[in-house]
Structure 1
Amino acid sequence: MKKILLVLLAAAMLTPMLATAASSIKLYEAPIDIYDKESLRRGAKNFADHCYSCHAAEFMRFNRIAKDLEMSEDEVREIMIHTFNEKGAPTKIGDVMKVSMTDQYAKDTFGTVVPDLSLTARARGADWVYTYLRSFYVDPDSPTGFNNAVFPDVGMPHVLWSLQGLQEPVYKTVIHGGVEVEEISHMQSIQAGKLSRVEYDMFLADLTNFMVYIAEPVQVERHKLGWKVMLFLVFLFFFAYALKKEYWKDVH
């Protein structure tokens, strides 16, 4: 028992020492508005252009996107559908959002299976997705040449670097458990991208907004239904109260 306690104590003391490059990046608040159809349409294009080559969203169908975002099926085909099914036939408007990349190819290329993004915004949160996409930085020791302050040692390359530009972390020294460690304080730009900082943030806001939408496509309908249910319950309350008074009016 004493040996176990000593091992646990040693591990607790070593943990701060091993975390010399721990991240202290706070999550930015994502400007999400699922009622903004223009933002969602821009986000759909951003997703198709920069994410959909590798990441599937198999819980979503193209014709559902066309319906919810008030787009014609031809618009969705032009913007989003550039893939083929297992038989080599063009993807149909009623198909789910699969990708051609196989799991084995992903393992050979990235060292891991590329995740499906259908529920990422719901599982991680919109703020996490938004901040994650802002937090790639140059790392010569990484196989991809980039690392991420929110998700250290992530296998995903920074596919948006040409838009965002290149940045590097600025570290600060803090004390954890009496041990000095370095944490990322903030990022500084070392090469400008095609978009300005404001434009890139707007680009990510639209992309994150679309990912929030595909994580729960019925949420707008759910919100509308919620108001109807609340109004029904208010009406039911007054009806039940009047009925109660009628039943108990002769009881003393």
Structure 2
Amino acid sequence: MKKIIASLLTALSLSAFASGGGVAWDRFPTEKMSDLASLQNGAKIFANYCLNCHSAAFHRYNRLQEIGLSKEQIKDNLMFTTDKVGEQMKAAIDAKEAKAWFGATPPDLTLVARSRADGSKGTGADYLYTLWRSYYRDETKATGWDNLVFPSIGMPHVLWELQGERKPMFEERMSHGKPEHVFSGKWEVVKAGKLSAQEYDNAVGDLVAYLTWMAEPQAKQRFNLGVGVMLFLLVFSVFAWRLNAAYWKDVK
């Protein structure tokens, strides 16, 4: 029940996934995109911690078979709002009730990994990977949490039981002749979570990998098709070049 209540608070702000903040984005471990175990674990985390409030209405449960899950595994471990594998991945909370309770409908997350890219900072995957690893406890905020990537974020830290509580460490630097507190890149552990720091980073990487895959399931096939087309054009260019030479060889 505590986890559900915490998840419901994600509806408080539609801007929870908006890009922003002044800290540099960490690089998402892209090798996870080719690891089926990572994608499957990411789908499990998404279903347990995100799908309570956020839908992925442009994605269907049966597509999870493309990352190696059987229909039985999907039904037994990932489906909480329907018993039909062909249904869309909709939130457990009713959208109209959420809007009435919190004043805003929780945003759909189907394309969130594609929509948060910033050319000067990184990809949408980099943003999400950094966001979920930058929460810290702040009792002055309505949710009790804040985030270095998105200051005054409206979404609470729904993965806090896994990560625990941390405190960012700042150092004083001079900026334009004035002292300024800047994040040092180090954290102080206040309360340990269920996972170690490395295990938590790995779990977040799995979640982001799944969100990235969900945003474009055909990305790998599209890339492979593109490589095939380029190779075909390369071979065709050789034949066209020789044909052209043969056609004009007697022309003076």
Interval containing the TM-score (normalised by the shorter chain)? 0.7 to 0.9
Per the TM alignment, residue 174 of structure 1 is displaced from its structure 2 partner at its CA by 3.0
Q: Deviations over 1:166-225 (max 9, x none)?
A: 011222233344433323333321110010011111111111110110011001111221
Counterpart selection for 1:71 from 69, 72, 91:
69
Give the Cα–Cα distance (whole angstroms) in 1 for the partners of residues 35 and 205 of structure 2.
11
Q: Which residue does the alignment assign to 1:87?
A: none
1:123 and 2:129 correspond: no
Per the TM alignment, residue 26 of structure 1 is displaced from its structure 2 partner at its CA by 2.0
Q: Which residue does the alignment assign to 2:189?
A: 189
Q: Which residue does the alignment assign to 1:239?
A: 239
Per the TM alignment, residue 102 of structure 1 is displaced from its structure 2 partner at its CA by 3.6
Task: Confirm or deny: 8 A CA contact 1:111 1:155 kept in the other structure.
Answer: no
Instruction: Give the TM-score normalised by structure 1.
Output: 0.82
Give the Cα–Cα distance (whole angstroms) in 1 for the partners of residues 181 and 105 of structure 2.
31
Task: Confirm or deny: 8 A CA contact 2:41 2:207 kept in the other structure.
Answer: yes
Give the Cα–Cα distance (whole angstroms) in 1 for the partners of residues 215 and 21 of structure 2.
27
Whichever of the two has the greater Rg, that structure is 1
Give the Cα–Cα distance (whole angstroms) in 1 for the partners of residues 100 and 160 of structure 2.
23
The answer for unaligned runs of 5 or more in structure 1 is 1-21, 84-89
Per the TM alignment, residue 108 of structure 1 is displaced from its structure 2 partner at its CA by 5.6
Task: Confirm or deny: 8 A CA contact 1:23 1:184 kept in the other structure.
Answer: no
Equivalence map 1:22-41=2 (5 Å) = 24-32=22-30, 33-41=32-40
Identity %: 41
Alpha-carbon spacing, 1:105–1:177, altered in 2? closer, same or farther (3 Å):
farther
Counterpart selection for 1:114 from 106, 110, 125:
106
Give the Cα–Cα distance (whole angstroms) in 2 for the partners of residues 157 and 52 of structure 1.
15
Tell me the secondary structure at the aligned position of residue 209 of structure 1.
helix
Give the Cα–Cα distance (whole angstroms) in 1 for the partners of residues 161 and 35 of structure 2.
27
Instruction: Give the TM-score normalised by structure 2.
Output: 0.82
The answer for unaligned runs of 5 or more in structure 2 is 1-19, 117-123
1:165 maps to a residue whose letter is G
